[in-house]
Amino acid sequence: MTTRQAEVHTQPGRAAVQIFAVNERMNQIIIEHLDPGAWRAKPAGKARSIAAIFTHMHNVRCKWVRLTAPHLKVPAQLNRAHCTPQQARAGLAESAARCAEMLAEALGGGESRIEKFRRDGWAQPWPVGVEMLCYMFAHEAHHRGQVCMLAEQLGFPLPVEVTSGMWNWEKLWKESGAHSPSILGAKEFCSSQEINRA
């Protein structure tokens, strides 16, 4: 995967890229430590499987990029019926890198082709701002909570090191490629995702 270098001239731009990097690291840790039996296990009622939740997260990111920053390469969508944990990890790494580029361009203070954040075709577009990051992070945090709850309910609880580790942001900063909470840029984030995917 090739990525373009995005110059991030503002603290909000750098912070947005970093926060999304930490967000993605949480997703990767969960999938990495998830019992394979939990991936396709069918929850009660009409709830999505864990596989369906992670493919949904990736596919929604693809939609955000396609609608908000169509000049960026949109990753291929994942099929929830056939997606493996390895494919989900690779897809999420790629869509996270595109989202980081989008955030870096939108909030980076340089020239940007991004004027509005479009979260869906039916939704009112928002002016570019940190609100787009907040929405993106909240969407993913919601689904991570679902995954942790479903894993427990299905009899495959995640290790406590994972569930409590999601709150160790200092460690997550480092694992996502940052040396401190203020220096990670989009290029470094994209490179770290390539390493995590390997």
Query: How many C-beta atoms lie closer than 10 Å to residue 88's C-beta?
Result: 24
Q: Beta strand pairing status for 126-127 and 116-117?
A: antiparallel
Number of independent structural domains in the chain? 1
Task: Tell me, yes or no, whether 39 lies in a domain.
Answer: no
Region of poorest pLDDT, from 90-99, 100-109, 139-148: 100-109
Residue 52 lies in a domain: no
Domain that holds residue 90: 11-34+57-197
Domain assignment present for residue 41? The answer is no
The verdict on residue 140 lying in a domain is yes
CA gap 148, 51 in Å, rounded: 13
Supply φ then ψ for residue 146, to 5 degrees: -60, -45
Q: Angle, to 10 degrees, between the axis of helix 11-33 and the axis of helix 186-197?
A: 10
What residue has token string 């609608």?
67
Amino acid (one-letter) located at 17: V
Backbone angles phi, psi at 53, to 5 degrees: -65, -50
Which pLDDT does position 12 carry in this prediction?
Answer: 81
Residue 108 covered by a domain: yes
97-111, 116-130, 158-172, 176-190: least confidently modelled range? 176-190
Residue 44 lies in a domain: no
State pTM to two decimals. Answer: 0.84
Per-residue pLDDT, averaged over 23-38, amounts to 96
Q: Does any domain span residue 150?
A: yes
Query: Per-residue pLDDT for 139 more than 80?
Result: yes
| Angle formed at CA 143 by CA 141 and CA 146, multiple of 5 degrees | 115
For residue 101, tell me if it sits in a domain.
yes
- For the segment 167-188, the average pLDDT, to the nearest whole number, is 68
Q: Are 146 and 53 in contact (CB under 8 A)?
A: yes
Q: What is the pLDDT of residues 37-93, one digit of tens each?
A: 999 999 988 899 999 999 999 999 999 999 999 999 999 999 999 999 999 999 999
